[in-house]
């Protein structure tokens, strides 16, 4: 009985630490399935649908790189990282940190239903591309105004505002046809690595307490 209970606690601890490690950067295989037309020209907007690691289910992501191109059926490798941690090795780099933060807030606001997908995607494209900013859609969709609002919000937003966001950054040279694939923003409502590590630490203490308790019996 004593050994069994200790093993249960230890198993829970190991599983929680496994989750924590998996929440950090990982590599996935992506296949572009289809996009959604904006209805106003200038290409598609969120949601872009992908098969990830051979799954038959769609994963829906937001494109942040207007100047790159992908084709249905194209495959490549991407590094998936918790949003803020991924900026340093992102497609546009740490010099664009403020823009990434604004993009993350825009994406979350869209998911909450506060702004449309068309508005959000043109706003995010405009953060990283002068070509996107030069398109009439950038202003017509409200993207320019959205950028101004969320760049200001990014100045004071706490790191917790980006919880759940993921950055899918393409690995150069892995695409199935020429050119660099686009980068994407996604969302997964899973515990952040710091929370998981705290939980693991707590469970470690609990496991030790259980072991000591039953050692005295």
What pLDDT, in 10s, does the model give residues 68-121? 988 899 999 999 999 999 999 999 999 999 999 999 999 999 999 999 999 999
Residues 2 and 29 in one domain: no
Residues 137 and 198 in one domain: no
pLDDT score of 49:
95
- Quote the domain boundaries for residue 36: 24-189
Residues 144 and 204 in one domain: no
pTM confidence score: 0.77
Residues 17 and 29 in one domain: no
Number of structural domains (the chain) is 2
Percent over 90 (pLDDT), the chain? 63
Residues 115 and 211 in one domain: no
Residues 72 and 122 in one domain: yes
Residue 183 β-bridge partners: none
- How would residue 205 be classed by pLDDT, with cut points 50, 70 and 90? low
Residues 133 and 151 in one domain: yes
- How would residue 40 be classed by pLDDT, with cut points 50, 70 and 90? low
Q: Which is nearest to 169 in space by CA: 61, 72, 71?
A: 61
Alpha helix ranges (H) inside 56-158:
83-86, 97-111, 117-128, 130-133, 136-140, 143-154
Q: Which residues contact 5 (CB under 8 A, 6 or more apart)?
A: 210, 214
DSSP string, 89-109: GSSS-GGGHHHHHHHHHHHHH
Residues 11 and 29 in one domain: no
- Give the Å distances, CA to CA, from 5 to 19, 160, 179, 196: 22, 35, 55, 22
pLDDT score of 212:
56
Mean pLDDT of the chain: 82
Q: How many CB atoms lie within 10 A of CB 147?
A: 22
Q: Which is nearest to 96 in space by CA: 15, 7, 167, 23?
A: 167
The tens digit of pLDDT for each residue in 2-28 reads 445 545 444 444 444 444 444 578 999
């Amino acid at each position: 009985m004593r050994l069994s209970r200790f093993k249960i606690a230890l198993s829970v601890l190991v599983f929680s630490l496994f989750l924590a490690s998996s929440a950090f950067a990982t590599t996935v295989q992506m296949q572009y399935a289809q996009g959604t037309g904006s209805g106003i020209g200038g290409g598609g907007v969120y949601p872009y649908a992908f098969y990830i690691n051979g799954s038959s289910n769609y994963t829906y992501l937001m494109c942040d790189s207007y100047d790159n191109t992908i084709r249905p059926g194209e495959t490549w490798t991407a590094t998936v990282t918790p949003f803020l941690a991924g900026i340093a090795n992102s497609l546009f780099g740490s010099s664009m940190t403020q823009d990434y933060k604004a993009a993350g807030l825009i994406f979350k606001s869209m998911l909450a239903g506060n702004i449309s997908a068309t508005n959000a995607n043109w706003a995010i494209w405009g953060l990283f591309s002068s070509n996107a900013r030069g398109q009439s859609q950038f202003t017509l969709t409200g993207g320019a105004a959205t950028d101004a609002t969320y760049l200001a919000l990014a100045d004071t937003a706490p790191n917790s505002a980006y919880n759940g966001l993921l950055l899918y950054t393409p690995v150069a040279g892995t695409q199935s046809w020429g050119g660099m694939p686009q980068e994407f923003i996604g969302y997964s409502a899973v515990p952040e690595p710091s929370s998981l590590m705290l939980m693991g630490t707590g469970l470690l203490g609990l496991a030790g307490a259980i072991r000591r308790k039953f050692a005295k019996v």
